[in-house]
Amino acid sequence: MSTTIVVGVDGSAAGAAALRWAAQEADLRGAELHMVHSWQIDAAEAMGGYAIPWLAMENDARATAQQWVEDVIGPLDQADSPRKLSVVSGMPGPVLVEAARGAALLVVGTQVHKGLSRVFQGSVSHYCLTHSTTIVVAVPAPAEDVGS
């Protein structure tokens, strides 16, 4: 059985709580921590007949994700367990479910969605809980961030 723990990295307070939890769990188990950040191009940016600088956008997404990860849990090369960061283009739910295929755990942050925000934004944690064949741990946002 795999000892890899996959965690979604999104820059939110709930994502930070999930990342901290997953990093601690990976250290306790001696497991690899695979952090996954998905990014999507805004449809408005893709219009107008201009060439889309995919590589530059992916590099920006990678730099942003890496900085956020290091702000939350410290430098990747100073961890007790192996860690890697993947940046993947696509919808977060399907990207995380695919990345977690065969992993020991998939860890995601979960936030309170009110009213229409749930309809329009969806819920990555709900998608993962209902589509993943891997055990999913949903870590809530810190209490001070709920409802804000």
pLDDT digits (tens, 9 = 90+) for 10-43: 999 999 999 999 999 999 999 999 999 999 876 5
Q: Taking the domain 5-39+50-145, which CATH number applies?
A: 3.40.50.620
Instruction: Give the model's confidence band at 56: pLDDT under 50 very low, under 70 low, under 90 confident, else very high.
Output: confident
Q: Is the model more confident about 146 or about 12?
A: 12
Mean pLDDT value across residues 127-136? 96
Going from N- to C-terminal start, the domains of the chain cover: 5-39+50-145
pLDDT tens digit string along 61-89? 999 999 999 999 998 888 888 999 999 99
The whole-angstrom separation of Cα 70 and Cα 89 is 21
Does residue 54 carry a pLDDT above 60?
yes
Q: Are 104 and 3 in contact (CB under 8 A)?
A: yes
pTM for the predicted model, two decimal places:
0.86
DSSP letter at 50 equals: P
